[in-house]
Amino acid sequence: MMTRSVDSAATPETPDEASFLRDTVRAFRRNRMAMAGLIFILLLVFCAVFVPWISPHDPYRVALDEQLLPPSTTYWLGTDNFGRDVLTRILYGARISLVVGIVPSLISLLIGTIMGILSGYLGGKTDFVVMRLADMMIAFPSLLLAMVVMYTLGANLLNIFLALALVGWASVARVVRAQTLALREKEFVEAAHANGTSRGRIMFDHIFPNVVPTLIVLFSLSIPEAIMWESSLSFLGVGVQPPAASWGLLVAKGKEYMFQNPSVAISPGVAILLAVLAFNFIGDGLRDALDPSMKD
């Protein structure tokens, strides 16, 4: 209680003065793993954005006299089969992998939330149609589905987004629907009805804000999932195409030189591992931080 938040304008007299947001932030900051994860991701984002100024190496320059060098002071993680600096390529790869992690998650979250709230709140036929659609998506082997999309539409970033969103929205919709079912029975929803609030407005103004904590957690948990998906697709050759670099692609290409220079394949693999771990810690931390305020 020693720090006063910026928005403590609300009722300093009431004993329970901590606001929803402040509680969350404080609980999150107490979680060391989550903070470590957050710092790591922020660092990664910073490096990925400013890599042209940070790294002295060109990620695309071919230097056949410097192939597969082991880690050294010039090339911290060694060089690949074209003599390109592995660390620089990992940081460039972070640009794609992070974007692929975040954008499709946002898309599937958006679609899943709309579908889930509509399905849970309206019920009846809408519920039936949406949920059977979601069942189909979940029942279908998602890697296969994503690969089919990539093969038929061609391998580019936009189609990766599309494929991942197509696979991802259904599970979001299920979670959001379940929560909506619980929320629609709450008295404040009935009170809103008694005010003459329309159904659309109830969904948007009353149900949605209460789903947001869940969405934040789902989001942070689906980012590592999407990174893994992109890695899998790139590894299988239907994701990002060379010479562009993404983490999955780096692992896929590096595996051929596993014995000449293991660093080429292992370093991007470790990067994936660390990023996924970091996002998972952040997700866990957020879930714990938001949980006490969710039960009322």
**Using the 8-state DSSP alphabet, how is residue 197 labeled?**
-
Nearer to other proteins among residue 28 and residue 140 (C-beta)? 28
Taking CA atoms, 182 is separated from 197, 293, 294, in Å, by: 19, 16, 12
Nearer to other proteins among residue 19 and residue 241 (C-beta)? 19
**Using the 8-state DSSP alphabet, how is residue 152 labeled?**
H
Q: Residue 79 pairs with which residues in a beta bridge?
A: 85
* Residue 209 CB neighbour total at 10 angstroms: 10
Taking CA atoms, 17 is separated from 1, 9, 53, 295, in Å, by: 10, 10, 46, 18
Helix, strand, coil % over all residues of the chain, rounded to 5? 75, 0, 25
- Min dist. Cβ of residue 124 to other proteins (A): 9
Q: Residue 209 pairs with which residues in a beta bridge?
A: none
Residues 39, 42, 46, 51, CA torsion sign: positive
Nearer to other proteins among residue 26 and residue 186 (C-beta)? 186
Burial bucket for residue 178 (CB in 10 Å: 0-12, 13-18, 19+): middle
Nearer to other proteins among residue 21 and residue 273 (C-beta)? 21
The residue type of 54 is I
Nearer to other proteins among residue 192 and residue 226 (C-beta)? 192
- Min dist. Cβ of residue 71 to other proteins (A): 50
- Min dist. Cβ of residue 290 to other proteins (A): 11
- Min dist. Cβ of residue 215 to other proteins (A): 12
Nearer to other proteins among residue 24 and residue 88 (C-beta)? 24
Nearer to other proteins among residue 65 and residue 187 (C-beta)? 187
- If DSSP codes are grouped into helix, strand and coil, which group holds residue 79? strand
Binding site residues, other proteins, CB under 8 A: 9-14, 16-17, 19-20, 186-188, 190-198, 201, 205-206, 209-210, 212, 293, 296
Asked if 253 and 205 touch (Cβ cutoff 8 Å), the reply is no
Q: Residue 120 pairs with which residues in a beta bridge?
A: none
* Residue 110 CB neighbour total at 10 angstroms: 14
